[in-house]
Amino acid sequence: MSPSTESPVPAEPATQQPLHKNEYLKADSNFLRGNLLRDLEDPSSGTITEESNQLAKFHGVYSQDDRDLRAQRRREGKDKAFIFMARIRVPGGVCTPAQWLALDALSDSHGNGTIKLTNRQAFQLHGVIKGRLRPAIREINRALLTTVAACGDVVRNVMCNPNPEQSRLHAEVMRLTRALSDHFTPHTRAYHEIWVDDQRLAGGEPETEPIYGKTYLPRKFKIVVAVPPSNDVDIFGHDLGFIAITDSEGRLEGFDITVGGGLGMTHNQVDTYPRSADVLGFCPADRVIDVAEKIVTVQRDFGDRVERKHARLKYTIADRGLAWFRTELERRLGYELAPPRRFEFTSTGDRYGWVGGPDGTTHFTLFIENGRVKDAPDYRMRTALREIARVHGGDFRLTPNQHLIIAGVKPAERPQIEELLRKHRLDSANHATALRLNSMACVALPTCGLALAESERFLPDLVTQLEGEIEAAGLRDDAIIIRMTGCPNGCGRPYLAEIAFVGRAPGKYHVYLGAAFNGSRLNALYRPSVPADELAPLIRPLLRQYATSRLPGERFGDFAVRSGFVTPTGDPHDFHETKRPTQAATI
């Protein structure tokens, strides 16, 4: 059926409180144009105004500065070292070798010489100066990629389990993922005018945004698609999720629907908190877009447009209740959802190395630490992947854990790709400890303006500090999900990690324990504001006790809960230092 794009009338009057300033900015922006083009062409500054920065996010662009240079430049009386980050949307994380090569070239000509794979299956181009930003995005579009709606108050990049072991099912699910992405792409012509065509298009029909309206959504909205038994997309941490349900022969029957997940919060503000999504019901595959649209419109009409920290779908459902949400959704759909079907998740991680698909092709999953593709003097990963892209006839798949699958390798191609992997020692990356292979960090310093502490640059060293204990305890091959973020906003999905470090201040981290290995349970605060040099001494005894006292098959997160280190309840206080954390058991 064709989903309706009519904007329903809200079921109750809008709030009388003044709206957040961003709501007025969006309404007055002429469908995301504002003064963005004027600011980009202004040669007197290396950045853009705050108003234009808010609009630029809808176009996939963030203004930043190199925070490593702030103090020195301030002493020298200079402006900040302004740069931009461009995020490239890749639905389901699948791109062609030609697209990979185009981004690789751009990272040198317009960026900082690296490619960043994100945990939302997107690319990020870092270190772009203002004068190169528009040419860079034009080249991105020439490669048949886009940055539009990679950020902003819209549906972001739609994620999908890469699942090379179930290629036929993955192809079906990928078609739906791309259809969802296309359906929610903003209609405004501003993106092409500013970044692609370089001119204002005259004439034609008046612009409209049939789903979003002039003020778009109250906040960002994230959709993911999971294929059990893998929960690599961390489905319970997102606004909307679809879980593929298959019959006994692996044929797609439809999807269970999850709603109301989200991981961002603010330190010491207990009315902000991570929330695990609820399972809402089941729908057949041909109704997924209709269901997704109506869910988005409920959030459009009832999400908080006064307080942005309270504007995600998780708060709408927490405040009004799941029963209310279901009633409002089914009123808009005109039919009831079916009861959810049974599903089972077993892990959130990636399967490294070579795996085979049912179509005769094979797939190689490569560990890329924190998703940063770069050349170092002793490890030339970018060069290696460039050489592989030149001979690879399949595709590349970005995993939700910031790694890369060289997918669809035909039997005749495999020897050459294996030789390139050996030549550049890429196959050795997959022989790291399971702790490292299951680690993930956000970018944080020096580019993220929200970062309170290090993350991408620090977690590898911290893992190294823990690996001695891991080896001594016989845990080298035991997967433990460990994540770090530079702030509490949740970009690295820390609250779904068995061990998590969340930046609290420069050199200090909150420590969280106890999430489920399969992503079905959030963790809880174990120790607040731990100095960086005390993190490894804090965790080592826990690893030692886990090795000696765990039950058969018991995961670290479950062990931490059973041992009383934390008691996750879902209460917002579980994530804030305003609640005294549970005292650790004697080690």
In the DSSP assignment, the letter for residue 156 is -
In the DSSP assignment, the letter for residue 320 is H
Q: Are 542 and 587 in contact (CB under 8 A)?
A: yes
Catalytic site residue 168? no
Phi, psi of 402 (to 5 degrees): 75, 20
Catalytic site residue 491? yes
Q: How many whole angstroms separate alpha carbon 349 and alpha carbon 493?
A: 13
Annotated active-site residue in 33, 89, 219, 222: 222
Q: Tell me which residue has tokens 């324990």.
A: 513
Catalytic site residue 87? yes
Annotated active-site residue in 442, 483, 508, 555: 442
Catalytic site residue 283? no
C-alpha distances out from residue 303 to 10, 218, 260, 295, 297, Å = 11, 6, 12, 11, 9
Catalytic site residue 95? no
Q: Tell me which residue has tokens 């809402």.
A: 280
Q: CB neighbours of 40 closer than 8 A, spacing ≥ 6?
A: 48, 52, 130, 133, 134, 194
Q: Are 223 and 154 in contact (CB under 8 A)?
A: no
Q: How many whole angstroms separate alpha carbon 410 and alpha carbon 19?
A: 56
- Can you give the length of the chain in residues? 587
Catalytic site residue 151? no
Catalytic site residue 374? no
Annotated active-site residue in 57, 87, 300, 382: 87
Nearest residue to 177 via CA among 230, 120, 220: 120
Phi, psi of 53 (to 5 degrees): -65, -40
Catalytic site residue 314? no
Nearest residue to 283 via CA among 259, 319, 300: 259
Phi, psi of 83 (to 5 degrees): -145, 175
Q: How many whole angstroms separate alpha carbon 127 and alpha carbon 586?
A: 47
Annotated active-site residue in 151, 160, 283, 448: 448
The residues carrying an active-site annotation are: 87, 156, 220, 222, 442, 448, 487, 491
